[in-house]
């Protein structure tokens, strides 16, 4: 076997092994890269005044550390509240099920069977939710990885960027043009669409916090923060919070609070952001096809999970750029 073949096989195997090792932490790594990308813009603005990059990087890293520690504190302090809410929700649903069975005056055997099915379903659902809360230590490990990688990229990001463009400059003409086009598209996505999603998440989280506070919802600031984080998942994010909360308040004989909470969630937290705010803001920030971006942001998370928020639109845009360049080459 030729030396170059040995090199290519070894490089491919090493790349696959590295991907296998890093993939469980890909969420943290991707979001660390995205965070560092945005923080570079913040660092540039601060450095315009300080004119000292080391001090600027230190300030930005301290800001990042404060955010990470605040998120970790929220996770740790919210566990008792979340467990209590899950237990209350299960009790309310169980009592409501028993009431409905008695209301329709079903035969004893059928009532017993239905009651057992409902109880088993609630027990299983409660176990699933509570088991997710036990994932907090793993989340904290991901937070540590996220912080370390993001801080390192903030510190040495420009050096990595310079080395990347040096490698691209040595590629053949066709591949160099393609790489430049892809990098420009990704840059537009990161500066445009992702900044849009950050803005939408902040607005939705603020609206949820204010609305829940006015409606008298317990733990309103925590639910607002959770909805703000979930707002990265379009369409289905807020209902994951306000629908169970609405049912919980209705089950606790606070019908109007539950009904108003549901109406507020549908109109203010779903329709307004997804139909009006997000599309118009994204269209203003980027020149990419809205349908392509919609598909990337909706289907990416469904296929790849949390990492799909970043990878989904990037993969589709890269595929579009490659096909467009191939078409232009064939018809030039």
Q: 243 versus 289: which is more confidently predicted?
A: 243
Domain shared by 177 and 234, yes or no: yes
Is a pLDDT exceeding 60 seen at residue 98? yes
CA 232 vs CA 70, 128, 271: distances in Å: 19, 23, 15
Domain shared by 153 and 281, yes or no: no
Q: Which of 169, 189, 216 is the last residue of a domain?
A: 169
Looking at the chain, the whole-number percentage of residues with pLDDT higher than 70 is 71
Residue from 247, 199, 238 nearest 97 by CA: 247
Contact 228, 206 (CB under 8 A): yes
Domain shared by 214 and 142, yes or no: no
Is a pLDDT exceeding 80 seen at residue 25? yes
Domain shared by 222 and 316, yes or no: yes
The Cα 75–Cα 130 span in angstroms is 14
Beta-strand ranges (E) seen in the chain are none
Residue 216's domain spans which residues?
171-332
The Cα 256–Cα 281 span in angstroms is 34
In a domain, 300, yes or no: yes
Structurally, how many domains does the chain consist of?
2
Q: Which of 134, 153, 169 is the last residue of a domain?
A: 169
73: helix, strand or coil: helix
Residue 17 has what pLDDT? 84
Residue 332 has what pLDDT? 55
Residue from 147, 158, 157 nearest 64 by CA: 147
112: helix, strand or coil: helix
In a domain, 191, yes or no: yes
pLDDT in tens, 116-164: 766 776 676 667 666 666 677 788 888 899 899 989 888 887 777 777 7
Domain shared by 50 and 132, yes or no: yes
Highest mean pLDDT: which of 67-81, 114-128, 188-202, 262-276?
262-276
Domain shared by 64 and 108, yes or no: yes
In a domain, 4, yes or no: no
Domain shared by 165 and 176, yes or no: no
**∠193-305-317 over CA atoms, to 5°?**
40
The Cα 146–Cα 153 span in angstroms is 11
Domain shared by 156 and 264, yes or no: no
Predicted TM-score (pTM) above 0.75: no
CA 77 vs CA 6, 57, 74, 140: distances in Å: 53, 30, 5, 13
Domain shared by 238 and 332, yes or no: yes
Domain shared by 179 and 318, yes or no: yes
Domain shared by 157 and 31, yes or no: yes
């Amino acid at each position: 076997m030729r030396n170059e073949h040995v090199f290519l096989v070894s490089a491919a195997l090493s790349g696959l092994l590295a991907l296998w090792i890093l993939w469980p932490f890909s969420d943290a790594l991707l979001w660390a890269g995205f965070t560092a990308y945005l923080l570079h813009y913040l660092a540039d603005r601060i450095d315009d005044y300080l004119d000292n990059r080391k001090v600027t990087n230190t300030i930005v890293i301290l800001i990042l550390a404060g955010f990470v520690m605040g998120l970790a504190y929220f996770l740790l302090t919210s566990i008792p509240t979340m467990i209590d809410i899950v237990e209350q929700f299960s009790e309310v649903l169980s009592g409501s099920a028993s009431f409905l069975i008695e209301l329709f005056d079903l035969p004893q055997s059928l009532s017993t069977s239905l009651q057992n099915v409902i109880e088993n379903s609630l027990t299983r659902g409660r176990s699933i939710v509570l088991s997710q809360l036990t994932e907090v230590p793993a989340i904290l490990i991901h937070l540590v990885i996220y912080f370390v990688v993001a801080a390192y990229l903030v510190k040495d990001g420009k050096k990595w960027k310079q080395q990347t463009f040096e490698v691209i400059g040595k590629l053949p003409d066709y591949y160099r043009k393609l790489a430049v086009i892809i990098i420009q598209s990704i840059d537009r996505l990161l500066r445009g669409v992702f900044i849009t999603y950050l803005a939408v998440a902040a607005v939705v989280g603020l609206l949820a916090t204010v609305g829940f506070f006015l409606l008298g919802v317990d733990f309103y600031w925590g639910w607002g923060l959770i909805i703000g984080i979930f707002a990265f998942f379009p369409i289905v994010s807020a209902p994951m919070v306000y629908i169970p909360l609405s049912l919980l308040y209705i089950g606790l004989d606070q019908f109007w609070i539950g009904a108003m909470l549901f109406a507020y969630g549908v109109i203010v937290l779903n329709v307004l952001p997804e139909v009006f705010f997000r599309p118009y803001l994204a269209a203003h920030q980027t020149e990419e096809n809205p349908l392509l971006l919609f598909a990337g942001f909706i289907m990416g998370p469904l296929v790849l999970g949390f990492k799909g928020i970043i990878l989904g639109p990037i993969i589709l845009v890269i595929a579009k750029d490659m096909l467009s360049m191939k078409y232009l080459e064939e018809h030039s």
